[in-house]
């Protein structure tokens, strides 16, 4: 009898304030073009592009239409390799340009659950090589008695309740996708008469002062999502910024993200609204927050006169629509511009399901 569908083992985890499917690299096709079609079929279904993702597991939201591909690393400096794939909602496409710090939080729990990594007796420390950004993050997961602990007292904005802490220490994130921290070579660029700062410290982001676009920066995501004129202005700027940020034509890419900034209102460094890139985020992405916090510590960016830097300590709190995101930055002030050597973040994750996702054999007929 002909095989009509190909089963592929997967797990689904909440990682930080996102949710995604986690696959072992060896369970997916080696050919990247076929692999991407398989991931689109898993998330969105095998038919024409569909914003509802009704024929797949994506959840019809950029924050849930995400995939992590994990394997044992062959690099001496790392334990695991992690590649992030964004399945574009309604786009019949994947985008591997960006990294995702939320799904990263689930990578080590997944690797332990899937037998790729042995847990230590109380906590497991693993070095994850992130293929999208060519950089390493040290991830620390609670593993009492050698099993992943999901329950705990850590709270992160954008995910309900509390859970066991997962600490992510990012090393050398500058230029993750653009090659340079300030990829246009300038602290400020002018697009369509609006001053912006283009920065990539883990995530390519264009920062804009909300007031320069006629907003306060404190509007709700729903209000901003309904503002079609604002969204068109942001997209025009994004399309011009992308090539100058060395990202090429970004029409079908999910980077750069567009972040509106305003003065903080709750003791943080800055207030933010981030478009990822067409939908306003309910919070802010992990590495997006690192890029925004980094822009705040560099004099001469559009954050001047808006950001309020902490008087003491290393914690930079980026305010967003549903709370704040605390980023611990190790900054080297020796050169002409401050350099962020390490960014530490708290995340949580939870295993939600485990099983097989079925792909039409016409897309991949696994031998």
CB of 290 to ligand NQM, least distance (A): 8
The residue number with the shortest CB distance to ligand NQM is 285
Grouping H, G, I as helix, E, B as strand and the rest as coil, residue 292 is: helix
Q: How far apart are the first and last CA of the chain?
A: 15
Comparing C-alpha atoms, which of 215, 365, 335, 315 is closest to residue 275? 215
DSSP class per residue in 264-278:
-SSSSSEEEEEESSS
Determine the length of the chain: 367
Identify which of residues 18 and 294 has a Cβ nearer to ligand NQM in the complex: 18
CB of 367 to ligand NQM, least distance (A): 34
Q: Which helix (H) or strand (E) holds 235?
A: helix 228-244
Asked if residues 191 and 240 have their Cβ atoms less than 8 Å apart, the reply is yes
CB of 98 to ligand NQM, least distance (A): 7
Identify which of residues 203 and 208 has a Cβ nearer to ligand NQM in the complex: 203
**How far is it, in rounded angstroms, from Cα 45 to Cα 66?**
14
Asked if residues 298 and 187 have their Cβ atoms less than 8 Å apart, the reply is yes
CB atoms closer than 10 angstroms to residue 338: 15
CB of 340 to ligand NQM, least distance (A): 15
Identify which of residues 102 and 303 has a Cβ nearer to ligand NQM in the complex: 102
CB of 96 to ligand NQM, least distance (A): 13
- By CB under 6 A, name the binding residues for ligand NQM: 17-18, 62-63, 100-102, 203, 257, 276, 285-288
Residue 256: cis peptide before it, omega within 30 degrees of 0: yes
Comparing C-alpha atoms, which of 139, 25, 18, 17 is closest to residue 87? 18
Identify which of residues 17 and 301 has a Cβ nearer to ligand NQM in the complex: 17
Identify which of residues 8 and 276 has a Cβ nearer to ligand NQM in the complex: 276
Identify which of residues 128 and 359 has a Cβ nearer to ligand NQM in the complex: 128
Identify which of residues 156 and 307 has a Cβ nearer to ligand NQM in the complex: 156
CB of 191 to ligand NQM, least distance (A): 20
Comparing C-alpha atoms, which of 33, 294, 281, 2 is closest to residue 157? 281
CB of 214 to ligand NQM, least distance (A): 24
């Amino acid at each position: 009898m002909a095989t009509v569908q190909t089963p592929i083992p997967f797990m689904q985890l909440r990682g930080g304030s996102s949710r995604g499917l986690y696959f072992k690299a060896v369970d997916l096709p080696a050919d990247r073009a076929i692999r991407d079609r398989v991931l689109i079929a898993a998330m969105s279904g095998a038919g024409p592009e569909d914003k509802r993702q009704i024929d797949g597991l994506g959840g019809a939201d950029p924050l849930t239409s995400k995939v992590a591909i994990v394997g044992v690393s062959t690099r001496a400096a790392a334990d695991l390799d992690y590649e992030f794939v964004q399945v574009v909602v309604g786009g019949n496409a994947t985008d591997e340009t960006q990294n995702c710090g939320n799904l990263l939080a689930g990578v080590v729990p997944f690797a332990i659950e899937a037998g790729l990594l042995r847990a230590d007796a109380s906590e497991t420390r693993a070095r994850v090589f992130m293929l999208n950004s060519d950089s390493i993050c040290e991830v620390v997961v609670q593993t009492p008695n050698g099993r992943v602990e999901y329950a705990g007292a850590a709270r992160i904005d954008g995910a309900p309740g509390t859970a066991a802490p997962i600490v992510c220490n990012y090393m050398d994130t500058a230029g993750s996708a653009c090659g340079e921290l300030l990829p246009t070579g300038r602290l400020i660029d002018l697009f369509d008469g609006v001053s912006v700062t283009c920065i990539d410290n883990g995530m390519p982001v264009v920062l804009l002062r909300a007031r320069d676009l006629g907003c306060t920066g404190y509007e709700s995501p729903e209000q901003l999502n309904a503002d079609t004129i604002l969204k068109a202005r942001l997209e025009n700027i994004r399309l011009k910024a992308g090539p100058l940020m060395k990202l090429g034509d970004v029409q079908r890419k999910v980077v750069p993200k567009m972040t509106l900034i305003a003065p903080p209102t709750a003791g943080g460094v800055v207030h933010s609204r981030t478009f990822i890139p067409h939908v306003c985020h309910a919070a802010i992405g992990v590495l997006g927050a690192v890029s925004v916090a980094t822009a705040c510590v560099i004099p001469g960016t559009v954050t001047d006169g808006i950001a309020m830097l902490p008087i003491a300590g290393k914690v930079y709190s980026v305010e967003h629509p549903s709370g704040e995101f605390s980023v611990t930055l190790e900054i080297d002030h020796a050169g002409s511009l401050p350099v962020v050597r390490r960014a530490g973040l708290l995340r949580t994750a939870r295993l939600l399901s485990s099983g097989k996702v079925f792909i039409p054999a016409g897309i991949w007929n696994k031998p």
